[in-house]
Amino acid sequence: MIQIDDIRRAAQRLDGQVLRTPCVESRTLSQLTGCQVFLKFENLQYTASFKERGACNKLSQLTADERARGVIAMSAGNHAQGVAYHAQRLGLRAVIVMPRFTPGVKVERTRGFGAEVVLHGDTLDESRAHARQLAAEQGLVFVHPYDDEAIVAGQGTVALEMLADVPDLDTLVIAVGGGGLIAGMATVAKALRPGIEVVGVQTERFPAMVNAIKGTHLPQGASTIAEGIAVGTPGEVNVPIVRERVDDLLLVDEGDIEQAIVMLLEIEKTLVEGAGAAGLAALLKHPRRFAGRRVGLVLCGGNIDPMLLASIIERGMVRAGRLARIAVSSRDVPGSLARITALVAEAGANIDEVHHQRAFTLLAAQNVEIELVLQTRGREHVQQVIDKLSAAGFSAQAQ
């Protein structure tokens, strides 16, 4: 089981090779969550993820023979980029096996670092098996994304930096996939501050570490927006460390993660992927659990597909009432639509979409249902629009 000295040695190897990212308080998020929130911006790393810490630590310890043979890794994206980038920097051949569902932005960036990308399988487990096969066939050194002590030690340097910058943190909230990040960080945290609380966060769709530690049998889903922590089997190296050094594990759902992504984008002006928002999602879902605490969150990755981000932003606007859909019933006569749109404009809302519904409605044949998608200031504003339409004689309701 790794100790803090292993992580301190990793920090020496990483010095000058990875960014020492800032860890700063978010006053606005602190006000919204009821605890003092400090953010570790690992999404500012060159590959936009903490994963390059472990990759750099592992590759820098390869023997001359291993360097000559080259390396292979399996990853949904962030570990892939970390290995590819540092292999390129060190002049090593790198082959990366990625699941077929991996976002295109991660695939292209990995290729951009000079790696040979192989898309195989629908899950990380299938990709891992194929990577092991290629490693045996081609004599490549397998670099596991989380089940490797050198990888864990590299990831643990995140906690060294956080506790150097904010020594009086009393809680760390960390996203958990295979467990490499939380195992490394918990090792540092418990060595430097035995009383600190370390809390892991998994998505409800991939609760592998929760099942392993708590002995539960929660079902596993097929997909999640937090694909970076969509791991079916936690690392064998990490499970005993988590069992000994992690205080609690929490689950969050997809909506919690979506909300956290949008909040970080709007409030902190910082872009994170699903896994990077898991920590904040836990604060939003369990506010009493962290009330009054000094909490450190790791924004562990920022590689998100632009199309997925656009969808998340739009859905977030719907939840906030800033994008609303209302149905207005009217006589199907010339001028009705113009009157309705004029009333909406007078109420200060902007029309995004208009749809006339004549056939699929229970209204009288001479009537029409007009569906409007509006950009508003929030739920109260939506109600103001409805009230204005109602006062003018139209039947209007939110959908």
Please give the structure tokens belonging to residue 105.
């932005």
CA atoms of 397 and 382, how far apart (whole Å):
10
The segment(s) of the chain belonging to CATH 3.40.50.1100 are: 4-49+148-316, 51-142
Determine the topology of domain 4-49+148-316 in CATH. Rossmann fold (3.40.50)
Q: What phi, psi does 152 have (nearest 5°)?
A: -60, -40
Q: CA 24 to CA 42: how far, in whole Å?
A: 12
- Residue ranges, comma separated, of all CATH 3.30.70.260 domains in the chain are 321-398
Spatial strand order in the sheet of 367-375? 350-357, 367-375, 323-331, 395-398
Q: How far is CA 116 from CA 53, 84, 101, 239, 385, in A?
A: 21, 9, 17, 31, 55
pLDDT in tens, the chain (399 residues): 899 999 999 999 999 999 999 999 999 999 999 999 999 999 999 999 999 999 999 999 999 999 999 999 988 778 989 999 999 999 999 999 988 887 777 788 889 999 999 999 987 778 889 999 999 999 999 999 999 999 999 999 999 999 999 999 999 999 999 999 999 999 999 999 999 999 999 999 999 999 999 999 999 988 899 988 988 889 999 999 999 999 999 999 999 999 999 999 999 999 999 999 999 999 999 999 999 999 999 999 998 888 899 999 999 999 888 999 999 988 878 888 899 999 999 999 999 999 877 666 656 556 788 899 999 999 999 999 999 999 998 889 988
Residue 71, CB half-sphere, CA atoms under 13 Å: how many? 31
Under CATH, what is the fold of the domain 321-398? Alpha-Beta Plaits (3.30.70)
Q: How many CB atoms lie within 10 A of CB 305?
A: 18
Question: What CATH number should be reported for the domain whose range is 51-142?
Answer: 3.40.50.1100
Q: d(Cα 166, Cα 43) in Å, to the nearest integer?
A: 19
